[in-house]
């Protein structure tokens, strides 16, 4: 007897439909799984055998051949446990097979017959329509995650007995209703640490506002204790809230990575990832024999914070160059090639020298010029070119430390950021994959960043004096465009360009 059940496998953050064909025939009893299964899939046959017996079903004492098609696609993880179990029950005529083709099955089974949640359900649900699937059968803990996709009938069950009863009597069950609400979602505010806690540092606070409004990369350079990390950690609080489409995209990435904190809800906070400086290249950009998202993809639409930037290995930092330019990372392996989205805002911090006190007015630097040169040599010119805002952060004076914070709260700054982002959104409404000024290409600069004669002379003088590259000059124009948006100005003016130029004065220290 032959039965076919539909399941799916995740490739990158997309999904591929997988047919689970189960043949029960005469021969020596045993289970054979074909179609490039990994160890978790192969171990699943023993879980399925014990599960069916403990749940009260008869296990066929015949030869069982299970084929996972397409045969050239690697099948990973325990999510095939449920479709294999259903396929064996259908092939042995213990469950109705008439409606099997209408649903896609995902789930890990426990030995007592209960269903356990699996990773990657959301991207599979998002791709279900393109697969010709309108119904999804998953563990109850994955049901709300899958129900975030509109137009898909999702059924969540706690154990295998409930699944079989559903297949025999589908009219008794109703699809799971999604608990998310788009309007309420868009209006929600997340409780984040506030920028009003920062004392002084008006210049750095202004840079944070510009970075948030335009999606610009930012680096803070200053001595220990000057507040670089405190400033960086408050950037998410002034970024615009995630809209529903962005939240769905971020949740897909975290679902693939198995990092969803709550499978019943979408990710509602902009990601803030802060890997340690000992991180490897694959952990940063993603990788593995069968690639998984790295830190830059987990920071998609949010912030990637690299504290103590010069402590990272130079070759690891060089991995960031292409994603910073393109907004995605292409990972190629012998067995698989995938693209992961990586449109993040890079925020970095570093000391100005090995001892940390070069240029400090309070404590004298003890580093030689050669040591400082070697220290900054860890950061390549092409990487620094891609950092739009380069800000010197000085230590607070004694009277500033003892006074109460007087700066604006994050909520007020966020209002200006949202207004500037709305201007950019309207500007690029006919463009695809452009959400902010930092993502503009050369053709956009020519159209939206036209300079008058005074502004042009100012920029040309900066290029000559600071030995700026063409990429760095383009970055100045992008920052100037954001500064103008914050001011509500349509045309770039000399003071917009002048402010943008001042953020390139520490390209090389």
Looking at residue 186, its pLDDT comes to 44
> CATH for 186-432, among 3.30.230.30, 3.40.1190.20, 1.10.10.10, 3.40.50.300?
3.40.50.300
- DSSP-based helix, strand, coil % in the chain, nearest 5: 40, 15, 40
Looking at residue 263, its pLDDT comes to 59
CA distances from 500 to 26, 179, 219, 257, 448 (A): 77, 44, 14, 38, 16
Residue extents of the structural domains in the chain? 2-172, 186-432
Looking at residue 192, its pLDDT comes to 64
Q: Of 114, 118, 124, nearest to 54 (Cα)?
A: 114
Q: Which two tokens stand for residue 49?
A: 């055998």
Intervals of the chain under pLDDT 70: 179-192, 262-265, 334-335, 507-509
Looking at residue 188, its pLDDT comes to 46
How far is Cα 341 from Cα 299, in angstroms, rounded to an integer?
Answer: 9
Topology (CATH) of 2-172? Ribosomal Protein S5; domain 2 (3.30.230)
Q: DSSP per residue over 449-464, as a string? A: ----HHHHHHHHHHHH
Look up the pTM and report it.
Answer: 0.84
Q: Which two tokens stand for residue 508?
A: 């090389």
CA distances from 484 to 42, 106, 129, 477, 497 (A): 59, 50, 43, 10, 9
Are 116 and 109 spatial neighbours (Cβ–Cβ below 8 Å)?
yes
SS3 state at 418: helix
Q: DSSP per residue over 335-400, as a string? A: S-EEEEE---EEEEEE-SSSSS-TT-SSS-----HHHHHHHHTTS-HHHHHT--EEEE-PPPPHHH
Looking at residue 150, its pLDDT comes to 84
Q: Which two tokens stand for residue 441?
A: 């290409």
Looking at residue 484, its pLDDT comes to 96
CA distances from 280 to 15, 283, 334, 345, 487 (A): 27, 5, 20, 20, 41
Q: Is 274 exposed, middle or buried (0-12, 13-18, 19+ CB in 10 A)?
A: middle
pLDDT in tens, 419-430: 999 999 999 988
Looking at residue 508, its pLDDT comes to 45
Q: What is the DSSP letter of 121?
A: H
């Amino acid at each position: 007897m032959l039965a076919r059940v539909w399941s799916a496998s995740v490739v990158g953050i997309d999904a591929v439909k997988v047919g689970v064909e189960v043949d029960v025939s005469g021969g020596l009893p045993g289970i054979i799984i074909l179609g490039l299964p990994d160890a978790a899939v192969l171990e699943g046959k023993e879980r399925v055998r014990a599960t069916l017996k403990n749940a009260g079903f008869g296990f066929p004492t015949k030869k069982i051949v299970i084929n996972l098609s397409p045969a050239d696609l690697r099948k990973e993880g325990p999510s095939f446990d449920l479709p294999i179990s259903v396929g064996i029950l259908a092939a042995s005529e213990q469950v109705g097979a008439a409606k099997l083709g209408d649903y896609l099955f995902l789930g890990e089974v426990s030995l007592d017959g209960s269903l356990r949640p699996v990773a990657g359900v959301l991207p599979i649900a998002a791709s279900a329509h393109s697969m010709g699937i309108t119904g999804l059968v998953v563990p109850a803990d994955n049901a709300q995650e899958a129900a975030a996709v509109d137009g898909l009938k999702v059924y969540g069950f706690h154990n295998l007995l409930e699944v079989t009863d559903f297949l025999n009597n589908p009219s008794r069950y109703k699809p799971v209703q999604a608990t998310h609400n788009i309007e309420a979602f868009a209006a929600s505010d997340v409780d984040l640490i506030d920028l009003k806690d920062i004392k002084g540092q008006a210049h750095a606070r202004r840079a944070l506002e510009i970075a948030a409004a335009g999606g610009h990369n930012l680096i803070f350079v200053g001595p220990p204790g000057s507040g670089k990390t405190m400033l960086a950690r408050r950037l998410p609080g002034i970024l615009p809230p995630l809209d529903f489409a962005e939240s769905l995209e971020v949740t897909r990435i975290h679902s693939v990575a198995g990092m969803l904190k709550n499978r019943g809800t979408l990710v509602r906070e902009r990601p803030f990832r802060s890997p340690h400086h000992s991180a490897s290249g694959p952990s940063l950009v993603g990788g593995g024999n069968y690639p998984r998202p790295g830190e830059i993809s987990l920071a998609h639409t949010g912030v990637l914070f690299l504290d103590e930037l010069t402590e990272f290995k130079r070759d690891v930092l060089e991995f960031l160059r292409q994603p910073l330019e393109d907004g995605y990372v292409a990972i190629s392996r012998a067995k698989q090639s995938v693209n992961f989205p990586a449109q993040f805002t890079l925020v970095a911090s570093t000391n100005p020298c090995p001892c940390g006190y070069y240029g400090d007015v309070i404590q004298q630097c003890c580093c030689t010029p050669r040591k400082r040169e070697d220290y900054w040599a860890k950061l390549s010119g092409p990487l620094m070119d891609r950092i739009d805002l380069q800000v010197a952060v000085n230590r607070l004076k004694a009277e500033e430390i003892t006074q109460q914070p007087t700066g604006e709260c994050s909520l007020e700054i966020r209002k200006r950021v949202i207004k500037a982002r709305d201007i950019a959104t309207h500007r690029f409404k006919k463009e695809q994959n452009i959400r902010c000024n930092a993502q503009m290409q050369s053709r956009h600069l020519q159209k939206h960043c036209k300079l008058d004669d005074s502004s042009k002379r100012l920029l040309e003088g900066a290029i000559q004096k600071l030995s700026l590259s063409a990429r760095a000059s383009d970055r100045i124009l992008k920052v100037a465009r954001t500064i103008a948006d914050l001011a509500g100005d349509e045309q770039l003016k000399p003071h917009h360009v002048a402010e943008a130029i001042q953020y390139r004065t520490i390209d090389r220290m």
